[in-house]
């Protein structure tokens, strides 16, 4: 029984925390660097034009997750232009909220509220890819699930080259504006980390005791494989974008 609990706990942590955590960290670091390059090369406001969709999804993700976990929303702006006469004003959007620190549910929610932009932007990229590059998405999901792979280079986008170009532009916009977690986001997540860890352990134990571990792991994989696939797409585009920006920097 202890081995079953340990296996269930490991697989839960692997699919819910470790893999998304590694990919998410890569996305945050690479896109933060890319956004810095955009600001250095083209000015502070260039990040708004280059990442407005990602910014809106970023703040909307905070807002929706805060509502789901019962936090009180005091104010929010999904997209804003910083005041020109205030050099300390760097905010492109915000969600201010309060919560009961003695409420386990609300406290645990802080983890997901803090990292919700990664979740929201990844979901957006998944559906954009499902719309514009469905065959490629299926190919990558088969690779992760069944280790069977059809080269995406041999698959035509649903709407031809223009559809592929639109996909690239949308994903770049989302990556530049949406994946850069602020220090406030990370601090907010840390507040509920212990509560989330306790919750995951309890669920793993209960599922193992009820002999539902196989069903739970299968269900977890079916949900997380598409999510991880979208993160891989985002990471690939983020790396290429960063390299292109570095190349541009050599000529400026």
Mean pLDDT across 145-172:
76
Whether pTM > 0.75 for this model: the answer is yes
Instruction: Look up residue 79 and give its two tokens.
Output: 């997209």
Residue whose entry in the numeric block shows the structure tokens 């065959």: 135
pLDDT, tens digit, 9 for 90 and up, residues 54-111 = 999 999 999 999 999 999 999 999 999 887 777 777 789 999 999 998 898 898 888 8
What pLDDT, on a 0 to 100 scale, did the predictor assign at position 210?
66
Q: Which of 86, 241, 224 shows the shortest CA–CA distance to 169? A: 241
Q: How confident is the model at residue 239 (pLDDT cuts 50, 70, 90)?
A: very high
Rounded Cα distance between 107 and 21, Å, is: 20
Ramachandran region of residue 94, left (φ > 0), alpha (ψ -120 to 50) or beta?
beta
Four-residue CA torsion sign, 129, 134, 139, 142: positive
């Amino acid at each position: 029984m202890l081995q079953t609990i340990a296996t269930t706990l490991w697989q839960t942590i692997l699919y819910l925390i470790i893999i998304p955590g590694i990919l998410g960290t890569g996305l945050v670091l690479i896109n933060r660097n890319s956004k810095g390059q955009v600001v250095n090369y083209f000015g502070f406001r260039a990040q708004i034009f280059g990442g407005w969709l990602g910014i809106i999804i970023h703040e909307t993700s905070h807002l929706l997750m805060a509502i789901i976990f019962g936090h009180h929303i005091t104010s929010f702006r999904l997209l804003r232009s910083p005041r020109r006469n205030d050099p300390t004003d760097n905010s492109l959007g915000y969600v201010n909220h309060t919560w009961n620190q003695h409420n386990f549910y609300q406290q645990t929610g802080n983890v997901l509220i803090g990292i919700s932009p990664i979740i929201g932007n990844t979901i957006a990229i998944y559906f954009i890819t499902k719309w514009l590059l469905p065959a490629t998405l299926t190919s990558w999901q088969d690779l992760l699930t069944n280790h069977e792979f059809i080269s995406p280079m041999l698959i035509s986008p649903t709407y031809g080259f223009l559809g592929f170009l639109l996909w690239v532009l949308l994903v770049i916009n989302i990556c530049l504006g949406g994946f850069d977690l602020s220090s406030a986001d990370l601090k907010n997540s840390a507040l509920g980390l212990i509560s989330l860890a306790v919750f995951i352990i309890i669920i793993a134990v209960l599922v193992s005791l009820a002999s539902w571990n196989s069903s739970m792991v299968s269900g977890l994989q079916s949900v997380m494989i598409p999510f991880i696939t979208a993160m891989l797409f985002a990471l690939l585009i983020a790396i290429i974008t960063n390299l292109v920006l570095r190349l541009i920097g050599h000529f400026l």
